[in-house]
């Protein structure tokens, strides 16, 4: 999700969406006695005064919040996010370790369960999204480390009978003026008895020893050795595996089914009808393992009732979107379009974007242990607050009867952040049906790759229509623009704060900025029986492509270098854009280095989630007519770079995912309500063989960090398209790319 969605104006409204956290002030608390001793710190939600009711009483949290320094000197940090490959299980502990002056070799990152104390200090809900993990918790986690360090110093000063300012700390060790020495672990119990400081002074960036340095990930060894336990690996004691047959059309229901063949398969225990997403129903097969459950599902004979649900077809939808794009939509940004008619030159363009599946490496899964007096769930979730509430409501339990454990997940890209908690609600419904059948074992609901591709919650399809007029010198005098697509916010808890004047802010984000152009923008939000959701970088997945290819086309019309043209149009808001762009240009050799015959430069720059990424790419066209991305140079302005290695990895991954949008077959299409793709054989994702060489360069800054998980995706495809234009003379207005009608220039 985009960080700009939740600005200062609507912050308080968002906080009201979640169950009350019982937080009324900024402050810390010490947890009670913990087995093994040590210093344990939890805290009240920083910044929550903007979100929570000021009359709510303070709440004391359980002693698992945020930080524990054990007697053996191990420092365990509870990470209030999910680790889905973005590196928070290392970067957030880095923030605490920096201010704590800890020995990095003793740091451990643990994923926190769902809990009020772990809510994002800006969003007011526990969430991994909006590329906000580091940006939102930068001060929060540093303060935890700084206050723990102050308590350790106070304890040492008291024991050694010396002034606190004479106690020094370094790499997990306290040193006194006369050579006294103690490890943090040895002093932890005494530190626990100290009052928590009301305030602390955080380090000056010039004194950082960990932040800003390339730090290897704490989970690297486990993941590279195959020892990391992901959600799909977890198995509760005595648990059974459940596989659900879902309706072929979203929201359809089971008319009748025959389970006799399924029950005849060895290992199948039970076959039950269950409620599925969007008011539909399905059939679940519960077995001793995944394979018999899967084979049992394949043996089912099901008659589906698809009456009463819309059956979308992509071709028909595209035609309707194009027709609607010819008409003005709900106004978003107003500008004079009267000069279009008499413009010296015009560009008229229609852009098409398909539905896209998230396709994370690990398909969805969830383990539910449902009992009469409570429910324990294990899942890789990006939305702990909403999911915890949905589990309780579905199970008919009170929130305090539900434990939601956060599991490491093999990717998410937004699919594990569903406001309606679809896969978790379904899993609880399976557990309820299982208990109703007289069974008590935990159930592990597993999705196959086919389930994942066909299971919905796609990046919405969109159509853009643009008409741009130029004067005789190539200056833009008028720009009329219409966007058509589904809203991902309508009908969700975010609707009240993210739909303004009838416009879904995610649909239009990134349009216009930072260019000083007379953009007249409107949007049509259509409804369709296709579940849609944010997809890595959300609206910028299509708006950046449109903006950066049109700006490039405008530069060509003005007969200007595309880099110079962009800089000319950037106003005061574009300073960070210019810095990122100039860095990428300088490091790539653009404008100075001659490329081999058959290769061309492409440029694009875009801001998302507070971070600017500029790409200068080199592309070519293969002999068979397929495009090839040879080299990518990135200029990144994310303010303070907490862990440069994480930033490099995120840019590389996002660039590859952005490249995947352009590849033939990278589209979800629907016919008569049924998704036509089902696996990687007919739904394309970028592979290792598609990976270009990528150099990542970061603009130096000491300002508070901005997001990094998603901003690397949006500018890749337009930079690639702009390079291909130079090779083919064809403007690519449809994703994925189709070069069938274009030939490389001689």
How many other C-beta atoms lie within 10 A of the C-beta of residue 685?
17
Q: How far is CA 185 from CA 76, 110, 299, 424, 727, in A?
A: 12, 18, 58, 40, 63
* Tens digit of each residue's pLDDT (9 = 90 or more) over 675-708: 999 999 999 999 999 999 999 999 999 999 999 9
- How far is residue 359's CA from residue 311's CA, in Å, rounded to a whole number? 23
- How far is residue 497's CA from residue 490's CA, in Å, rounded to a whole number? 11
Say what the pLDDT of residue 739 is: 85
- How far is residue 720's CA from residue 85's CA, in Å, rounded to a whole number? 25
- How far is residue 148's CA from residue 553's CA, in Å, rounded to a whole number? 55
Report all structural domains of the chain as residue ranges with CATH numbers, in order of start: 3-217 (3.30.365.10), 231-308+364-446 (3.30.365.10), 326-355+458-728 (3.30.365.10)
Q: How far is CA 620 from CA 597, 625, 626, 630, in A?
A: 9, 10, 9, 7
- Pairing state of beta strands 345-353 and 253-258? unpaired
What would you report as the CA-atom Rg of the chain, rounded to the nearest whole angstrom?
A: 27
> Which run of H or of E encompasses 260?
helix 260-263
Query: What DSSP string describes 443-479?
Result: EEEE--HHHHHHS--BBPPEEEEEEEEE-TTS-EEEE
- Give me the phi and psi of 67, to 5 degrees please: -145, 135
* Tens digit of each residue's pLDDT (9 = 90 or more) over 224-265: 999 999 999 999 999 999 999 999 999 999 999 999 999 999
- How far is residue 172's CA from residue 74's CA, in Å, rounded to a whole number? 9
Say what the pLDDT of residue 26 is: 35
* Tens digit of each residue's pLDDT (9 = 90 or more) over 184-229: 999 999 998 898 898 999 999 999 999 999 999 999 999 999 999 9
Cβ contacts of 672 within 8 Å, gap of 6 or more: 249, 311, 313
- How far is residue 607's CA from residue 637's CA, in Å, rounded to a whole number? 9
Q: Which residue has the tokens 């609206």?
A: 539
First vs last Cα of the chain: how many Å apart? 43
Q: Which of 127, 10, 20 is nearest to 421 (CA)?
A: 127
> Which run of H or of E encompasses 284?
strand 281-287
Say what the pLDDT of residue 296 is: 98
- Pairing state of beta strands 301-305 and 253-258? antiparallel
- Pairing state of beta strands 374-379 and 402-406? parallel
Q: Which of 58, 46, 65 is nearest to 20 (CA)?
A: 58
Query: What DSSP string describes 364-395?
Result: -EEEEEEETTEEEEEE--S-HHHHHHHHHHHH
Contact of 246 with 280, CB cutoff 8 Å? yes
Whole-model pTM? Answer: 0.93
Say what the pLDDT of residue 40 is: 75
- How far is residue 42's CA from residue 60's CA, in Å, rounded to a whole number? 9
Contact of 118 with 384, CB cutoff 8 Å? yes
Q: Which residue has the tokens 């020495």?
A: 181
Peptide bond into 514 cis (omega under 30): yes
Q: Could you tell me where the DSSP H helices lie in 300-421?
A: 314-325, 384-395
Residue 8: burial class (beta carbons within 10 Å; 0-12, 13-18, 19+): exposed
Residue 613 sits at the vertex; the CA angle it makes with 561 and 699, to the nearest 5 degrees, is 100
> Which of the residues in the chain have pLDDT under 50?
1-13, 15-29, 31-35, 43-64, 746
Query: Hey, which residues does 281 pair with through a beta bridge?
Result: 275
Contact of 432 with 287, CB cutoff 8 Å? no
Q: Which of 458, 379, 389, 370 is nearest to 423 (CA)?
A: 379
Angle 540-557/716-728 helices, nearest 10 degrees? Answer: 40
Q: Which residue has the tokens 């050579």?
A: 179
Q: Which of 620, 612, 615 is nearest to 604 (CA)?
A: 615
Query: Hey, which residues does 616 pair with through a beta bridge?
Result: 603, 633
For residues 428, 429, 432, 437, the Cα torsion angle rounded to the nearest 10 degrees is: -130
Q: Could you tell me where the DSSP H helices lie in 574-687?
A: 575-588, 644-660
Query: Hey, which residues does 524 pair with through a beta bridge?
Result: 484
Cβ contacts of 308 within 8 Å, gap of 6 or more: none
């Amino acid at each position: 999700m985009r960080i700009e969605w939740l600005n200062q104006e609507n912050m308080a409204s968002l906080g009201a969406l979640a169950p009350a956290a019982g937080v009324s002030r900024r402050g810390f608390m010490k947890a009670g006695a913990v087995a093994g001793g040590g210093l344990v710190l939890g805290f009240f939600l920083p910044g929550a005064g903007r979100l929570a009711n000021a009359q709510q009483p303070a709440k004391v949290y359980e002693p698992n919040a945020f930080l524990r320094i054990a007697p053996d000197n191990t420092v365990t940090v509870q990470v209030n996010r999910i680790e889905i490959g973005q590196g928070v299980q290392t970067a957030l502990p880095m923030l605490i370790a920096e201010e704590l002056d800890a020995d990095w070799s003793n740091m451990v990152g643990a994923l926190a369960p769902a809990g009020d104390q772990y809510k994002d200090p800006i969003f007011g809900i526990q969430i991994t999204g909006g590329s906000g993990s580091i940006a939102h918790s930068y001060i929060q986690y540093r303060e935890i480390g700084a206050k723990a360090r102050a308590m350790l110093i106070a304890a040492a000063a008291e024991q050694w009978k010396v002034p606190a300012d004479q106690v020094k700390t370094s790499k997990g060790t306290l040193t006194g003026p006369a050579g006294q020495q103690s490890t943090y672990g040895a002093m932890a119990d005494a530190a626990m008895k100290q009052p928590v400081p009301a305030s602390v002074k955080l380090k000056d960036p010039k004194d950082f020893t960990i932040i800003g340095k390339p730090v290897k990930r704490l989970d690297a060894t486990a993941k590279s050795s195959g020892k990391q336990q992901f959600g799909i690996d977890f198995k509760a004691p005595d648990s059974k595996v459940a596989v659900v047959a879902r309706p072929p059309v979203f929201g359809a229901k089971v008319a009748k089914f025959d389970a006799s063949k399924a029950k005849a398969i060895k290992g199948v225990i039970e076959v039950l009808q269950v409620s599925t997403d969007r008011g539909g129903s399905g059939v679940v097969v519960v077995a001793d393992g995944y394979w018999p459950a899967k084979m049992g599902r394949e043996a089912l004979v099901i008659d589906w009732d698809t009456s009463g649900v819309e059956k979308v077809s992509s071709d028909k939808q595209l035609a309707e979107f194009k027709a609607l794009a010819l008409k003005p939509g709900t106004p978003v940004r107003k500008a004079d379009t009267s000069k279009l008619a008499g413009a010296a030159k015009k560009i008229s363009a229609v852009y098409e974007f398909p539905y896209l599946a998230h396709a994370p490496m690990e398909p969805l899964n969830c383990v539910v242990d449902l009992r009469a007096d409570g429910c324990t769930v294990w899942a890789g979730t990006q939305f702990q607050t909403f999911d915890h509430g949905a589990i309780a409501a579905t199970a008919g339990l009170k929130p305090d009867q539900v434990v939601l454990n956060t599991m490491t997940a093999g990717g998410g890209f937004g699919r594990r952040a569903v406001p309606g908690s679809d896969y978790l609600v379904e899993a609880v419904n399976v557990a309820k049906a299982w208990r109703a059948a007289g069974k008590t074992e935990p159930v592990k609901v597993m999705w196959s790759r086919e389930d994942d591709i066909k299971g919905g919650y796609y990046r919405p399809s969109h159509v853009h229509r643009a008409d741009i007029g130029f004067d005789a010198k190539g200056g833009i005098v008028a720009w009329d623009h219409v966007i058509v697509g589904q809203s991902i916010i309508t009908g969700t808890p975010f609707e009240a704060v993210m739909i303004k004047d009838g416009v879904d802010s995610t649909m239009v984000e990134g349009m216009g900025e930072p260019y000083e152009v007379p953009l007249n923008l409107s949007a049509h939000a259509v409804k369709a029986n296709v579940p849609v959701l944010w997809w890595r970088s959300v609206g910028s997945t299509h708006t950046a492509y449109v903006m950066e290819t049109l700006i490039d086309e405008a530069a060509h019309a003005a007969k200007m270098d595309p880099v110079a043209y962009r800089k000319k149009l950037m106003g005061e808001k574009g300073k960070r854009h210019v810095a990122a762009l100039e860095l990428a240009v300088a490091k790539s050799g653009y404008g100075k280095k001659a490329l081999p015959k058959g290769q061309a430069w492409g440029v694009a720059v875009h801001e998302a989630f507070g971070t600017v990424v500029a790409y200068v790419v080199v592309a070519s066209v293969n002999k068979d007519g397929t495009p090839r991305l040879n080299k990518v140079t990135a200029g990144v302005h994310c303010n303070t770079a907490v862990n440069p290695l994480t930033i490099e990895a995120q840019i590389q991954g996002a660039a590859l995912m952005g490249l995947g949008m352009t590849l033939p077959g990278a589209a979800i299409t629907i016919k008569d309500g049924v998704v036509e793709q089902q696996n990687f054989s007919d739904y394309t994702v970028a592979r290792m063989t598609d990976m270009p060489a990528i150099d990542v360069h970061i603009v130096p800054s000491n300002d508070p960090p901005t997001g990094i998980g998603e901003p690397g995706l949006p500018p890749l495809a337009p930079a690639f398209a702009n390079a291909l234009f130079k090779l083919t003379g064809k403007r690519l207005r449809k994703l994925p790319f189709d070069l069938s009608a274009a030939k490389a220039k001689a």
